[in-house]
Amino acid sequence: MFGGMAWMLHGNRCVVIWHDSLVVRCGPTDWADHLKKKHVREMDITGRSMKGWLLVDAPAIAPPARLKAWLEISPAFVATLPRK
C-alpha cells in the first residue's frame, strides 16, 4: 500500500518504513498531539492526508530510545482494532 516494508498485527498494518521515514499508526485522539512533535507530519504520500497515520522523519527516530517509543505507539492502537 505504501511501497515500503510493513509490519502487520492481526492482519492490520502497524508500522511501515517508507524511504527515510517511519510510518506510524496511532489512535485518532492521539494523532493531533503527535503532529505537534518535531519531525512528525501527516501521512500524505498520495495528496490526501491519512488521519491516524504519522510520517516520522529520521531525526525523530535516530536514538534507539526514541525509535522504541514510536514503535510502541502503533501496536498499542492496532491491538484495539478488529482482526482481519
Distance in angstroms (rounded) separating the CA atoms of residues 9 and 74? 9
Residue-wise pLDDT for 23-76, tens only, equals 999 988 899 999 999 999 998 877 888 889 999 999 999 888 999 999 999 999
- SS3 state of residue 45: coil
Please determine, for residue 1, whether its predicted confidence score (pLDDT) is greater than 60.
no
pLDDT value at residue 80: 93
Distance in angstroms (rounded) separating the CA atoms of residues 68 and 50? 23
pLDDT value at residue 45: 75
Distance in angstroms (rounded) separating the CA atoms of residues 84 and 70? 23
CA 9 to chain centre: 13
Q: What is the pTM of this model?
A: 0.84
Residue-wise pLDDT for 5-22, tens only, equals 888 999 998 998 888 899
